[in-house]
């Protein structure tokens, strides 16, 4: 297939296609970076969390070495550049799992083996992928932000290729790109593209910012609509649901509900159809998406599983059970993002008598009565071991029932009698 072009997906003449591509690529940088891209064909956006480099002129990519050969133009930086194509570059531990991509401006390029008519987007599926919170926060949402404007007319090159990640999110990825993914480890060659994006834009934890961000204009509502299209989900608003469905996330290992059966009995008595989402179900994203799309209330202890609230219809209720010492994490990771989804958000804060830490340490121990000071004194390692990994819950179902009655009110349904 040497020199043979792949399927063409740009509709006009070659010049028109290149002008359209340049226009789209310019949206991925702003200010002086956009001016540099227009003048030289190459620019990089850099912030605290990520680097995104863009070429709107033809490049050659050697997938054996992951070197990008970009043509040199007057005013373009001459130095070679290393990019870690995964957000959260400030997390040095995370970056150990991310392979760099080298951009070489003006270096003699190797000959093309394959020529493509659509741009490439290069990213790593390494990092913390495999945890659904990190998947969405650091890869899925950034992929949407970086790639959606191309309307499926792009090709992904995925370094640190993780088969499970690609398989799990195949529906989403295939809606972003109409082309087969290039895995450099399995496709060692030189590929020529009319343009390239190396790295992914990142707006924060489960965040899409419509203004003062790069790119601008995409909201959480846009992302959720794209999810519905990708997974063929029919319900947009909770008002379209019939009998209220409650999904209870059942954790194993830590932050478990030790009286789960008692909780389910109470929930059913209130009038909910209850679905207990155990780990095997939570691992099947297609099943999770389908179940949560018809869900009115999602209940779960603080943890990655609550990320699946992205599949809830607008106006549904997320109830986060907040263990001792977990208040700061809970609000930041799920409380604030839920407002943009937009969901109704409730917290059920665990009392000492409901936490296993009380029986382990005693009711008056600082671990129980003053988690904030303990965390400040002992550090994150201790905080994680005790409050995240070492705590389970026995829920006071009478008290928790009041939280679910509030959920009924937020759904616009009459509170159950009795």
pLDDT tens by residue, 367-404: 999 999 999 999 999 999 999 999 999 999 999 999 99
Residues with Cβ within 8 Å of 151's Cβ and at least 6 positions away in sequence, in order, are none
Mean pLDDT over residues 144-158, rounded?
96
Residues 208 and 296 in one domain: no
Determine the Cα–Cα distance for residues 290 and 54; give it in Å rounded to an integer: 36
Q: How confident is the model at residue 245 (pLDDT cuts 50, 70, 90)?
A: very high
Q: Which domain holds residue 159?
A: 4-231
Strands (E), 304-412: 317-322, 344-349
Mean pLDDT over residues 322-347, rounded?
95
- In this prediction, residue 15 carries a pLDDT of 58
Mean pLDDT over residues 280-288, rounded?
94
Residues 313 and 176 in one domain: no
- Which of these, 134, 70, 67, lies nearest to 100 by C-alpha position? 67
Residues 244 and 382 in one domain: yes
- In this prediction, residue 212 carries a pLDDT of 77
SS3 60: strand
- In this prediction, residue 9 carries a pLDDT of 46
Whether pLDDT at 84 is above 60: yes
**What distances in angstroms separate CA 78 from CA 28, 45, 208, 247, one per listed residue?**
21, 17, 33, 55
- In this prediction, residue 75 carries a pLDDT of 63
SS3 5: strand
Residues 125 and 173 in one domain: yes
Mean pLDDT over residues 68-94, rounded?
85
Last residue of a domain, one of 200, 231, 262: 231
Residues 223 and 256 in one domain: no
Beta bridge partners of 193: 59
- Which of these, 174, 165, 193, lies nearest to 58 by C-alpha position? 193
Last residue of a domain, one of 202, 231, 260: 231
Mean pLDDT over residues 298-318, rounded?
97
Residues 142 and 226 in one domain: yes
CATH of residue 254's domain is 3.40.50
- Which of these, 311, 302, 371, lies nearest to 332 by C-alpha position? 302
20 Cα distance to chain centroid: 28
Determine the Cα–Cα distance for residues 41 and 57; give it in Å rounded to an integer: 6
Residues 157 and 251 in one domain: no
Count of residues in the chain: 418
Residues 126 and 267 in one domain: no
Domain count, the chain: 2
Q: How many CB atoms lie within 10 A of CB 288?
A: 21
Assess if residue 344 is contained within a domain. yes
Question: Percent of the chain, pLDDT > 90?
Answer: 84
Whether pLDDT at 132 is above 90: yes
Last residue of a domain, one of 176, 207, 231: 231
First CA to last CA across the chain, in angstroms?
72
Q: Is there a contact between 123 and 139 (Cβ–Cβ < 8 Å)? A: yes
- In this prediction, residue 7 carries a pLDDT of 33
- In this prediction, residue 4 carries a pLDDT of 37
Q: How confident is the model at residue 5 (pLDDT cuts 50, 70, 90)?
A: very low
Residues with Cβ within 8 Å of 207's Cβ and at least 6 positions away in sequence, in order, are 141, 220, 337, 340
Residues 13 and 151 in one domain: yes
Compute the CA torsion angle 398, 337, 91, 389 (nearest 10 deg).
Answer: 10
Beta bridge partners of 248: 276, 299
Residues 251 and 151 in one domain: no
Take residue 281 and report the two structure tokens written for it: 């179900």
Residues 113 and 152 in one domain: yes
- In this prediction, residue 216 carries a pLDDT of 83
- Which of these, 61, 52, 59, lies nearest to 73 by C-alpha position? 59
Q: How many helices (H) and strands (E) does the chain have?
A: 18, 17
Assess if residue 417 is contained within a domain. no
Assess if residue 347 is contained within a domain. yes
Q: Is there a contact between 203 and 48 (Cβ–Cβ < 8 Å)? A: no
Mean pLDDT over residues 340-356, rounded?
97
Question: Percent of the chain, pLDDT > 70?
Answer: 94
Beta bridge partners of 157: 122, 182
Mean pLDDT over residues 237-263, rounded?
94
Assess if residue 416 is contained within a domain. no
Take residue 283 and report the two structure tokens written for it: 């691992």
Residues 124 and 255 in one domain: no
What single string gives the DSSP state of each residue in 375-393?
Answer: HHHH-HHHHIIIIISS--B
Assess if residue 324 is contained within a domain. yes
Take residue 329 and report the two structure tokens written for it: 């994490």
Q: Where are the alpha helices (DSSP H) in 57-201?
A: 92-95, 132-134, 141-147, 163-168, 170-176
- In this prediction, residue 1 carries a pLDDT of 36
Q: How many CB atoms lie within 10 A of CB 29?
A: 24
Determine the Cα–Cα distance for residues 165 and 76; give it in Å rounded to an integer: 36
Mean pLDDT over residues 204-208, rounded?
94
- In this prediction, residue 2 carries a pLDDT of 37
Assess if residue 246 is contained within a domain. yes
Compute the CA torsion angle 304, 305, 311, 314 (nearest 10 deg).
Answer: -80
Assess if residue 415 is contained within a domain. no
Q: Is there a contact between 36 and 187 (Cβ–Cβ < 8 Å)? A: no
Q: How confident is the model at residue 6 (pLDDT cuts 50, 70, 90)?
A: very low
Residue 117 phi, psi dihedral angles, 5° rounding = -100, 0
């Amino acid at each position: 297939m040497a020199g043979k072009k792949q399927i063409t997906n740009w509709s006009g003449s070659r010049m028109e296609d290149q002008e359209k591509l340049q226009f789209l690529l310019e949206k991925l940088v702003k200010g002086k970076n956009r001016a540099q891209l227009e003048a030289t064909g190459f620019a990089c956006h850099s912030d605290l969390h990520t680097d995104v480099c863009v070429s709107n002129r033809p490049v050659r990519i050697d997938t054996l070495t992951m070197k990008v050969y970009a043509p040199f133009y007057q005013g373009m930086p001459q130095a070679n550049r290393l990019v870690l194509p995964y957000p959260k570059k400030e997390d040095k531990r995370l970056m150990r799992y991310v392979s760099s991509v080298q951009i070489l401006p003006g270096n003699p390029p190797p000959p093309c083996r394959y020529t493509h008519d659509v741009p490439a987007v290069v990213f790593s599926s390494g990092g913390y992928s495999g945890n659904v919170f990190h998947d969405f926060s650091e890869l899925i949402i950034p992929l949407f932000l970086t790639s959606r404007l191309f309307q499926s007319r792009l090709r992904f090159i995925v370094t640190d290729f993780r088969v499970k990640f690609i398989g799990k999110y195949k529906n989403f990825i295939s809606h972003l790109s109409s082309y087969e993914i290039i895995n450099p480890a399995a496709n060692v060659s030189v590929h020529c593209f009319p343009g390239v994006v190396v790295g992914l834009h990142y707006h924060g934890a489960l965040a899409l910012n419509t203004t003062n961000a790069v790119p601008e204009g995409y909201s959480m509502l846009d992302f959720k609509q794209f999810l519905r299209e990708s997974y063929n989900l029919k319900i947009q608003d909770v008002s379209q649901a019939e009998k209220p469905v409650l999904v209870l996330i059942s954790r194993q290992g830590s932050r478990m509900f030790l009286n789960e059966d008692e909780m389910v009995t109470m929930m059913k008595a209130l009038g909910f159809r209850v679905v207990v989402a155990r780990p095997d179900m939570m691992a099947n994203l297609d099943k999770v998406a389908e179940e949560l799309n018809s869900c009115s209330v999602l209940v779960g202890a603080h943890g990655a599983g609550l990320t699946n609230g992205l599949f809830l219809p607008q106006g549904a209720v997320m109830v986060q059970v907040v263990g001792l010492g977990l208040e700061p994490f809970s609000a930041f990771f799920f409380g604030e993002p839920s407002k943009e989804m937009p969901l109704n958000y409730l917290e059920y804060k665990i009392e000492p008598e409901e936490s296993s830490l009380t029986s382990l340490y005693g009711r008056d121990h600082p671990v129980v009565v003053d988690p904030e000071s303990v965390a400040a004194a002992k550090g994150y390692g201790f905080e994680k071991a005790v409050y995240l990994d070492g705590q389970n819950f026995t829920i006071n179902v009478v008290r928790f029932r009041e939280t679910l009655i509030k959920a009924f009110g937020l759904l616009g349904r009459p509170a159950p009698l009795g």
